[in-house]
């Protein structure tokens, strides 16, 4: 049975910050975020949005009325959960109108959480335990506040949603062609609801070690391959764009020795255009790999049904997976229909003082038991973009109970 992604969408958020503008305000060289990290802008949220609203606003794009009774599994992969007990999947089920006869839960393993949910959903569909039924996998994360920190350029926010079924119109998952690897480390982690801690060198080497480990496991299972011929293109986890070239070069060494210049040319031909959307979102955690997948499909119109694409996912802590996929028969039209670039272009660009004010306001409300969300300011953003548009928004928090509604 062929299993995979039937539909996919991403939620670009409604606010953005230009990285050149930020670098100039911080008295830094703009070439650092743009030329070295390959990040041109980042997404962020007004105070009436959070990982729950992003998750639902992404899912609403892929769940049709005809799907609601057929979805019997809802999984949200996140490292930005709003509650230690209540999963965000409950809100997705409710506001998407999905049947009450479904399992729902969150998966957590840093940036790998989305891939873990996707694999779990795909294996459930492939098992045949519920013939004809589908799964909904959502990823949703936003950064904590890090004003003035060196890693401020790799922060962001995003959500993706994938309908997983036995009709893989976008992407087929070859479930027998996957390698995985785990190693307990402290590279990046979120020890409290306010803190986000990262160790750059540990994270860099942890990522590359995990890539090597999962790829070697893949080869032991699949057998020797010609990396260039076997896969038409490649998708790597994107903590920031520049990291993906290091990943590509590390894998190329398993295939043949190659200098920096030919390796870069190979990367630009086989993978780099996939970063077209990631470079505008900033860091998106569980969503990063799937945003790159959408960028790959939109950037390479020559990809045909059945063409193999390798995908690599990494989550700090750590766990990774290197797996083989095949382009589906309607991949290009399904991804194009989401008009993701138009959504990114429609974001309200903030000045640095506006960005800092938004971040401070958002973080001031974390862990507060009671507050009402004011939807004013930001150049009338709510009235222009939300009112009457059917987006999920946060209205208030009462005794820690979060009250949402569709605008």
pLDDT, tens digit, 9 for 90 and up, residues 145-181? 889 888 899 999 999 999 999 999 999 999 999 999 9
- Distance between CA 281 and CA 287 in Å, rounded? 10
**pLDDT less than 50: residues of the chain:** none
- The confidence score (pLDDT) of residue 25 equals 96
Q: Specify the CATH class of 175-333 in words.
A: alpha beta
pLDDT the model gives residue 67: 97
Give the pairing type, strands 157-165 and 171-182. Answer: unpaired
Tell me if 4-171+339-406 shares its fold with 175-333: yes
User: Would the pTM count as exceeding 0.95?
Assistant: yes
**What was the pLDDT predicted at 189?**
87
Say what the pLDDT of residue 196 is.
84
Q: What is the pLDDT of residue 195?
A: 82
For residue 17, give the 3-state DSSP assignment: strand
Token reading at 15: 């606010």
Is the domain spanning 4-171+339-406 CATH 3.50.50.60? The answer is: no
pLDDT at residue number 200: 78
The residues carrying an active-site annotation are: 79, 111, 237
What distance in Å separates the CA atoms of residue 76 and residue 107, rounded to the nearest whole number?
6
pLDDT of residue 203: 83
If you write DSSP's letter for every residue of 28-64 in order, what string do you get?
--THIIIIIS---EEEE--TT--HHHHHHHHHTTT--
Query: Mean pLDDT across the chain, nearest whole number?
Result: 96
Domain ranges of the chain: 4-171+339-406, 175-333
Per-residue pLDDT reduced to its tens digit, 182-240: 999 998 889 988 888 888 788 888 999 999 999 999 999 999 999 989 999 999 999 99
What does the radius of gyration of the chain's CA atoms come to, in whole angstroms?
20
Report pLDDT digits (tens) over 396-405. 999 999 999 9
Residue-level pLDDT at 34: 92
DSSP conformation class of 8: E
The alpha carbon torsion through 243, 249, 253, 258 (nearest 10 deg) reads -160
- What CA–CA distance (Å, rounded) separates 402 from 285? 24
């Amino acid at each position: 049975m062929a299993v995979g992604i039937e539909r996919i969408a991403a939620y670009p958020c409604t606010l953005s910050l230009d990285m050149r503008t930020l670098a100039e305000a911080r008295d830094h060289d703009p070439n650092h975020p743009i030329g070295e990290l390959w990040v041109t802008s980042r997404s962020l949220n007004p105070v009436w949005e959070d990982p729950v609203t992003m998750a639902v606003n992404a899912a609403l794009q892929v769940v049709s009325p005809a799907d609601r009774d057929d979805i019997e599994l809802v999984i949200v992969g996140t490292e930005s959960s709003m509650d230690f007990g209540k999963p965000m999947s409950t809100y997705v089920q409710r506001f998407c109108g999905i049947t009450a006869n479904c399992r729902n839960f969150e998966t957590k393993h840093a940036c790998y959480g989305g891939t873990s949910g996707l694999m779990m959903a795909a294996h459930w569909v492939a098992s045949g335990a519920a013939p004809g039924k589908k799964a909904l996998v959502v990823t949703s994360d936003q950064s904590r506040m890090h004003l003035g920190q060196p890693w401020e350029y790799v922060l962001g926010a995003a959500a993706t949603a994938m309908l997983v079924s036995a009709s893989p119109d976008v992407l087929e998952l070859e479930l027998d062609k996957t390698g995985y690897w785990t190693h307990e480390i402290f590279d990046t982690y979120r020890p409290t609801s306010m803190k986000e801690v990262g160790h750059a060198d540990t994270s860099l080497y942890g990522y590359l070690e995990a890539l090597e480990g999962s790829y070697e496991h893949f080869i032991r299972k699949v057998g020797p391959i010609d990396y260039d011929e076997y896969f038409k293109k490649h998708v790597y986890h994107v903590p920031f764009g520049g990291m993906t070239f290091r990943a590509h070069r590390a894998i190329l060494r398993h295939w043949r020795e190659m200098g920096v210049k030919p390796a870069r040319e190979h990367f630009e031909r086989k993978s780099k255009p996939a970063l077209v959307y990631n470079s505008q979102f900033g860091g998106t955690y569980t969503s990063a790999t799937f945003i790159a997948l959408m960028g790959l499909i939109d950037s390479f119109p020559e990809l045909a049904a059945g063409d193999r694409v390798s995908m690599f996912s990494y989550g700090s802590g750590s766990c990774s997976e290197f797996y083989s996929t095949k382009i589906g028969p309607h991949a290009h039209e399904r991804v194009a229909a989401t008009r993701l670039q138009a959504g990114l272009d429609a974001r309200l660009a903030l000045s640095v003082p506006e960005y800092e004010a938004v971040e401070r306001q958002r973080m001031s409300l974390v862990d507060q038991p009671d507050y009402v969300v004011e939807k004013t300011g930001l150049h009338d953003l709510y009235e222009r973009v939300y009112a009457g548009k059917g987006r999920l928004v946060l209205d208030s928090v009462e005794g820690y109970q979060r009250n949402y509604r569709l605008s």
